[in-house]
Structure 1
Amino acid sequence: MTRLAKGSTIRRDAGIYGFERALARQGLHPVAGVDEAGRGACAGPLVAAAVILERPIKGLADSKLLTEARREACFDLIMARAVDVSVVVIPAAECDRMGLHVANIAALRRALARLAVRPGYVLTDGFPVDGLGAPGLAMWKGDRVAASIAAASVIAKVTRDRMMVQMHEDYPAYDFATHKGYSTPQHQAALQLHGPCDEHRRRYVNVRAAMESAVEA
């Protein structure tokens, strides 16, 4: 990953669109933001999204800071107004096979590769991702300071949340619709009672422990 071009100074009051504007002034556009949802969950897929924005989205922010209703509204606006959007889903079994970090990197790369519009610059959240085919920058808490990453976080989270609600229909005992596969006390209790289902990630310590308890019983 590269640094911002010389002269691309971002003012403290530039707002969430400041990075994209600074990059555009340097001729580094369009800018794509990539982010994932479900990295910390012990059940369900990992979902990555890539978004290219050129129009402001009212109320856009890091998906974790938005209410469910606001995320849904932002999702619809992004899908309607973004230059390009792509989504990649990595199933739980593939996350186990590849290892979570490798799966995470692969998902971000695939999401970017699936964009129909080739970006001139890429912004990623948290850690650098090599092999993106364009210069880029890894940003600490990028989903809070860069609009394109925030948009990608919204697309990834809403897509995954909807999948987990649908998954609840197949596995109602785990209440995936409520906790979305994260390790809440309610989820842990269900995991201990019923053991893991096909959507649980076997590499996670709590899932392995539930599997061992089921075998001992």
Structure 2
Amino acid sequence: MLSPSRTVIRREGGIYALERALQRRGFRNVAGADEAGRGACAGPLVAAAAILPEGKRGEIDGITDSKLLTPAARERIYAEVVERALAYAVIVVPPQEVDARGLHVCNLAAMRRALASLTVAPDYVLTDGFGVDGIGTPGLAVWKGDQVAACVAAASVLAKVTRDRIMVDLHDRFPDYGFDEHKGYITGVHTDALRKHGPCPEHRFSYVNVAAASGRGHAPPRARRPRSAAPGAPEVEALALWPDEGGTVGVATGQRAWPPPPVGEDEAMEGGTR
């Protein structure tokens, strides 16, 4: 039996080239997953996953890495992703969870949860930078995936806009830190506020700069945290990550029904036709 010919993705093919190549091979529902907030020392870690429809229906003008977009462009693209996506999911991991379980563990768990929460099962998964195992679906880690694959860029925008909105809301509760401006990342203004006021319950006490500002830098992360969060903290819908690991995250999902276009047998992957 002859193996399928090798697929070559050319840079000039643009941000949709990788997805289109996978779809021609029979992987119709290509999901992208990405996160926002890994480098922040305050606020939640947010992961998202999205499946865009095939063809022109899934093309969104100007979509790329959320960090390269203006806030206005992100909001516009966010709205279009929510409107057009076959399915999307957003997972919010609070800073307490990051401190307790570790950033990388939480990041992988959140992306797994986002992918598992999609109301349309993905045939293939693209992730930004590093692979996510344990998802039961073939996938590929793509360097700078949010600049290379539209579905990853869509997930990037979902995660970034969701997190930015959360940080603006946190500014109303903790106005001393300027969360609405720097979104919890380490800036001069944020560092000065930490020195002056110490950390608040929304800071990540497992981070060195926050631990130092707390005055309990040599204690384990859980011991550094305040005993309770500030009154009036918004509640997030709790979902178990999986029974044997525990932990909670917030999830928002969306779905858009599209009739699948026909795919000829000559475009199917080895192992069966569609």
Aligned: 1:73 with 2:72: no
Aligned: 1:108 with 2:111: yes
Match of 2:222 in 1: none
Q: Secondary structure at the match of 2:47?
A: strand
Taking the aligned partners of 1:117 and 1:52, their CA distance within structure 2 comes to 8
Q: Secondary structure at the match of 1:32?
A: strand
- Report the AA paired with residue 59 of structure 1: G
Match of 2:191 in 1: 188
- For residues 10-40 of structure 1, what are the alpha-carbon distances to aligned partners after superposition, in whole Å with 9 as ceiling and x for unaligned? 1221100001000001101200000000000
Match of 1:43 in 2: 42
Counting matched residue pairs gives: 210
Bigger fraction of residues in helix: 1
Aligned: 1:53 with 2:56: no
Q: Secondary structure at the match of 1:173?
A: coil
In the TM superposition, residue 213 of structure 1 has moved relative to its aligned partner by 7.6
Taking the aligned partners of 2:49 and 2:5, their CA distance within structure 1 comes to 25
Match of 2:12 in 1: 13
Counterpart of 1:197 (choices 185, 196, 200) is: 200
User: TM-score w.r.t. structure 2 length?
Assistant: 0.75
Aligned: 1:206 with 2:209: yes
Match of 1:23 in 2: 22
Cα separation, partners in 2 of 1:196 and 1:6, compared to 1, 3 Å: farther
- For residues 152-195 of structure 1, what are the alpha-carbon distances to aligned partners after superposition, in whole Å with 9 as ceiling and x for unaligned? 00000000000000010000000100000001000010011000
Match of 1:132 in 2: 135
Match of 1:148 in 2: 151
Taking the aligned partners of 1:100 and 1:167, their CA distance within structure 2 comes to 20
Match of 2:123 in 1: 120
In the TM superposition, residue 6 of structure 1 has moved relative to its aligned partner by 5.1
- For residues 91-114 of structure 1, what are the alpha-carbon distances to aligned partners after superposition, in whole Å with 9 as ceiling and x for unaligned? 000001010000000010000000
After superposition, residues 150-169 of structure 1 pair within 5 angstroms as 150-169=153-172
Cα separation, partners in 2 of 1:133 and 1:200, compared to 1, 3 Å: same
Match of 1:86 in 2: 89
Cα separation, partners in 2 of 1:6 and 1:185, compared to 1, 3 Å: farther
- For residues 91-142 of structure 1, what are the alpha-carbon distances to aligned partners after superposition, in whole Å with 9 as ceiling and x for unaligned? 0000010100000000100000000000000000001110112000001100
Q: Secondary structure at the match of 2:7?
A: coil
Q: Secondary structure at the match of 1:116?
A: coil
- For residues 187-216 of structure 1, what are the alpha-carbon distances to aligned partners after superposition, in whole Å with 9 as ceiling and x for unaligned? 0100110001000001101001101189xx
Q: Secondary structure at the match of 1:104?
A: helix
- Report the AA paired with residue 182 of structure 1: Y
- Report the AA paired with residue 43 of structure 1: A
Taking the aligned partners of 2:38 and 2:159, their CA distance within structure 1 comes to 11
Taking the aligned partners of 1:26 and 1:9, their CA distance within structure 2 comes to 12
Taking the aligned partners of 1:102 and 1:153, their CA distance within structure 2 comes to 19
Taking the aligned partners of 1:62 and 1:179, their CA distance within structure 2 comes to 18
Q: Percent identity of the aligned residues?
A: 60
- Report the AA paired with residue 39 of structure 1: R
- Report the AA paired with residue 32 of structure 1: A
Cα separation, partners in 2 of 1:6 and 1:175, compared to 1, 3 Å: farther
RMSD of aligned residue pairs (Cα, Å): 1.2
Greater than 6 Å deviation, 4+ residue runs: none
Taking the aligned partners of 1:196 and 1:37, their CA distance within structure 2 comes to 21
Give the number of the structure whose alpha-carbon radius of gyration is greater: 2
Q: Secondary structure at the match of 2:13?
A: coil
